[in-house]
Structure 1
Amino acid sequence: MDRVEHMTRADLECVLGWAADEGWNPGLDDAEAFLAADPEGFFLKRVGGAPAAAVSVVNHSDDYAFLGLYICAPAFRGMGHGLDVWNAGLAHAGGRTVGLDGVPAQQQNYVRSGFVRAGRTIRYEGRVNGRDAANLRPMRASDIPAILALDAAQTGTRRDRYLSAWLTATSTRQGLVIERNGAIAACGTVRACRAGAKIGPFMALRAGDASDLMAGLARIIGRAQLFIDVPDSCHDFHDLLAGRGFAPVFETARMYRGPAPATAYAPFHGVATLELG
């Protein structure tokens, strides 16, 4: 029987495998933190018992949701199965503003569904020689409330469940902070991926802190090849990355259905994930 249902952990691992096959390069340990954000926000359509299409629409707060992982298994494309999970996901969001990072091929479809472009997110790839610095220390559980507040001030919304899980260290995902005058001045998380590692979220006010933080994250993850997704408004970060040999390899359009959050990104800001914002 064909049906749309909530994903299990095993279902999500399957869908992340589809994403890997499409070159999206997910992390090695994303599923648990994704589900912690909103266990009811991951939808899968089965056709004759086989997984066919998927989407996530995670309700981060009472007024904001984020759409991602919109993907169909190759054998089931062009049959309308994607629309079924799309509709289920948006129904889950209710009256919330919904954000997404749309690939160029799909942006006009999103416009027809009421989404409005608000900017770009540019993915950079480059290599960093890992090194330690005296001003770096591991991220602690006690840091998370302050980081949640910093994130909310920059993204314009609370994402406490998601980031509380994401910022908790695992064997493949770790974080560092720079503390100055008793407050967090910069922080970042890095996770091992199918290829290299991705940095995000990432927040720094100073170029020197951003450079130290990136080098420290490269050292602790043990992978020199790094990817980071940067909003187009963060001109200082684009300049810093270009100056260190990073190259843009991919971009998406940040789009919203409903009132866009009031963002105020730090000069050096990296998106946590394109799947959950």
Structure 2
Amino acid sequence: MPDYMIRTMTRRNLDIAVRWAAAEGWNPGLHDADCFYATDPSGFLMGWLDGEPISAISVVKYGASFGFLGFYIVKPAFRERGYGFQIWQAGLNDLEGRTIGLDGVVAQQPNYLKSGFELAYRNIRYEGFGRDVTSQPPAIQTVPLSSLPLESIMAYDRPFFPDDRQTFLQAWINQPDSTALGIVENQTLLGYGVLRPCIQGYKVGPLFAENAEIAEALLNALVTKVEPGQPFYLDVPEVNPAAVAIAQKYGMTSMFETARMYSPTIPQLPIHKIFGVTTFELG
């Protein structure tokens, strides 16, 4: 029998998984791996067959109660042979006792349902393109997120996620070549967003805001950083019609969908304030 072993990834191993994700068309960010690994170095598993890496899964832990499952990939030549199921089981075992979230591709959704996951809603990836910036001043002024106290950013973000993610967020909003903006009124943060470079174009995420007007102002300010003709992407919860309306207003087109699923229960989050998902890989 072939020698199939599942081990915790090293940081270098994670680069392999990111390349696989790129080959699958997931378009990872250029600095995603550093942010992801800093969040939970023990949260990435890789399957090795006779010394060759052939499968991956991430099972990143947040706080004491939540984990997010992503990077579930088996190299095409080794699919349908049980290796994926073995690393899937290893990942679930690693998150035992926690609420688990994932963004499942359409083809795998029936398998996730069989494993006890419940559909919360669909996320739709929209694609837009950078355009020439006009000289008209924005209706609502944004500020660099770096100009705000970290504590206020963490406090604003906390209701949007099932458990604490301070370690991740510190890395995410400070990653190289990115733009992180907020909108403040009376010293109160009302929304923030992050634009980061990816293998192809840019992604906006998260995009959290108290209302659609603030979300649109943030998106408008962020995409001014995108070169004309370059693509940018926004992953929108379909159950937030205001978010869908903004994507359509910007002339963005839907590319594909995922299913946000949870086990054993669906956390109660302010979906009406989520205009863009942080990342399909880590939640």
Q: Give the shorter-chain TM-score range.
A: over 0.9
1:240 to 243, 246, 249: 246
Alpha-carbon separation, structure 1, partners of 2:53 and 2:193: 35
Alpha-carbon separation, structure 2, partners of 1:149 and 1:266: 18
Alpha-carbon separation, structure 1, partners of 2:273 and 2:14: 34
- The share of aligned pairs that are identical, in percent, is 39
Report the AA paired with residue 217 of structure 1: L
For 1:10-29, what aligned pairs fall within 5 Å after superposition?
A: 10-29=12-31
> 2:263 — aligned with what?
257
> 1:185 — aligned with what?
190
> 1:219 — aligned with what?
224
**How far apart are 1:130 and its partner, in Å?**
6.2
Deviations 1:182-234 (A, max 9, x none): 11122100111111111001112343332332222123354642111111221
2:164 to 145, 158, 161: 158
Deviations 1:109-146 (A, max 9, x none): 00111111111111111124364747122221744332
> 1:96 — aligned with what?
98
For 1:15-54, what aligned pairs fall within 5 Å after superposition?
A: 15-54=17-56
> 1:139 — aligned with what?
145
CA-based RMSD of the aligned residues comes to: 1.9
Q: Tell me if structure 2 keeps the 8 A contact 1:169–1:175.
A: no
Alpha-carbon separation, structure 1, partners of 2:269 and 2:65: 15
**How far apart are 1:74 and its partner, in Å?**
1.8
Alpha-carbon separation, structure 2, partners of 1:180 and 1:247: 32
Alpha-carbon separation, structure 1, partners of 2:240 and 2:12: 37
> 1:86 — aligned with what?
88
Q: Tell me if structure 2 keeps the 8 A contact 1:188–1:201.
A: yes
Deviates further, 176-185 or 25-34: 176-185
1:113 to 115, 118, 137: 115
Q: Taking structure 1 as reference, are residues 188 and 130 closer, same or farther at Cα in structure 2, changes over 3 Å only?
A: farther
Q: Tell me if structure 2 keeps the 8 A contact 1:128–1:215.
A: no
Show structure 1 runs of 4+ deviating over 6 A: none
> 1:269 — aligned with what?
275
Q: Taking structure 1 as reference, are residues 193 and 50 closer, same or farther at Cα in structure 2, changes over 3 Å only?
A: same
Runs of 5+ in structure 1 lacking a partner?
A: none
Alpha-carbon separation, structure 1, partners of 2:219 and 2:179: 12
Alpha-carbon separation, structure 1, partners of 2:74 and 2:161: 29
Report the AA paired with residue 146 of structure 2: R
Q: Tell me if structure 2 keeps the 8 A contact 1:154–1:266.
A: no
* SS in structure 2 at match of 1:220: coil
Q: Taking structure 1 as reference, are residues 229 and 194 closer, same or farther at Cα in structure 2, changes over 3 Å only?
A: same
**How far apart are 1:58 and its partner, in Å?**
0.7
Q: Does 1:204 align with 2:237?
A: no
Q: Tell me if structure 1 keeps the 8 A contact 2:237–2:274.
A: no
Q: Does 1:168 align with 2:174?
A: yes
Alpha-carbon separation, structure 2, partners of 1:57 and 1:141: 32
TM-score computed with the length of structure 2 as normaliser: 0.91
Alpha-carbon separation, structure 2, partners of 1:220 and 1:247: 20
Runs of 5+ in structure 2 lacking a partner?
A: none
* SS in structure 2 at match of 1:46: strand
Alpha-carbon separation, structure 2, partners of 1:121 and 1:155: 16
Alpha-carbon separation, structure 1, partners of 2:149 and 2:27: 28
State the aligned residue count: 276
